[in-house]
């Protein structure tokens, strides 16, 4: 019998599927892969944070300061006054694993930032803007809220959080992590994280004073546009817009039946 080789059918290298459908499948597939990678990265940060409990974080960063921080004199009235106010507010957070330290960044822009280990940095510019202790208390309470939800570590970015995990597990020096005021001043939180921090902060203010009068007066002034915009821009770039925030805070106070009127405390300096 003679062997007759069969010819392959025509167009064997051409897919039966329409090219557009193939392109769609490819894009959907790549999209799914990137989505999975993104979810894994988010989980990696959560896992890293699980292995760096607040107590460990506090111990690692006990005496640490950001490289580019320009501090004021240690006996500055504003520094001691702000530290005392943080201590009074944090007293109401009974199981706080942090011992909060305050430093003033000698800069004219307005900002308040939560650094690892319980270091709260407020700028001289922000202290120039607050007009009562109650206003400052809410700004500080809001930062304490970020610690409670550990947003402050997530805001550092995945790279630093993962490096922090290796630092914590190998006992390396945290000063190599390269966390700076300039860098953190630009990192913003999600709206959800901001709202949660506001709720915790306002609750601390209510517990401290028995009312929430003037707690968000600073934002009302900013919303009215009294102040020079460049000075408040940094704070606003990393926090919700004052108008929306005021509405949310008013609604929160009403929901929790926190008195909106009360005796307002003067700044301690
Ligand atoms: Zn915030």
Q: What is the DSSP string of 83-110?
A: HHHHHHHHTTSTT-----EEEEE--SS-
Distance 170 CA to ligand 1 centre (A): 31
Spatial separation of the C-alpha atoms in residues 45 and 211, rounded to whole Å: 37
45 assigned to some structural domain = no
39 assigned to some structural domain = no
236 assigned to some structural domain = yes
83 assigned to some structural domain = yes
Spatial separation of the C-alpha atoms in residues 42 and 49, rounded to whole Å: 11
Distance 18 CA to ligand 1 centre (A): 50
Kindly report, residue by residue over 214-267, the tens digit of the pLDDT: 999 999 998 887 656 666 777 887 788 888 899 999 999 999 999 999 999 999
109 assigned to some structural domain = yes
Instruction: State the residue range of the domain holding 124.
Output: 52-255
22 assigned to some structural domain = no
Give how many domains the chain has, as a whole number: 1
Distance 47 CA to ligand 1 centre (A): 23
For the whole model, what pTM was predicted? 0.85
Greatest pairwise CA separation for the chain in angstroms = 110
Q: Is a pLDDT exceeding 90 seen at residue 132?
A: yes
42 assigned to some structural domain = no
Spatial separation of the C-alpha atoms in residues 164 and 133, rounded to whole Å: 35
Distance 151 CA to ligand 1 centre (A): 9
């Amino acid at each position: 019998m003679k062997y007759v080789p069969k010819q392959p059918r025509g167009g064997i290298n051409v897919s039966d599927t329409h090219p557009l459908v193939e392109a769609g499948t490819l894009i959907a597939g790549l999209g799914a892969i990137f989505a999975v990678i993104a979810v894994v990265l988010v989980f990696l940060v959560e896992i890293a944070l699980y292995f760096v409990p607040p107590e460990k974080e506090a111990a690692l960063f006990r005496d640490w300061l950001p490289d580019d921080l320009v501090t004021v004199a240690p006996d500055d009235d504003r520094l001691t006054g702000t530290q005392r106010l943080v201590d009074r507010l944090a007293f109401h957070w009974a199981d706080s694993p942090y011992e909060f330290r305050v430093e003033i960044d000698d800069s004219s822009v307005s900002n308040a930032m939560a650094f690892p280990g319980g270091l709260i940095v407020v700028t001289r510019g922000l202290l120039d803007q607050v007009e009562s202790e109650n206003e400052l208390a809410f700004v500080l309470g809001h930062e304490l809220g970020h610690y409670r939800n550990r947003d402050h570590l997530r805001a550092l970015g995945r790279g630093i959080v993962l490096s922090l995990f290796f630092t914590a597990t190998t006992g390396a020096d945290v000063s190599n992590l390269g966390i700076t005021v300039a860098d953190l001043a630009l990192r913003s939180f999600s709206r959800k994280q901001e709202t949660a921090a506001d709720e915790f902060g306002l609750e601390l203010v209510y517990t401290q004073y028995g009312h929430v009068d003037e707690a968000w007066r600073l934002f009302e002034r900013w919303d009215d546009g009294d102040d020079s915009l460049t000075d408040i821009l940094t704070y606003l770039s990393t926090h919700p817009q004052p108008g929306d925030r005021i509405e949310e805070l008013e609604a929160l106070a009403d929901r929790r039946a926190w008195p909106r009127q009360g005796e307002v405390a003067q700044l301690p300096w």
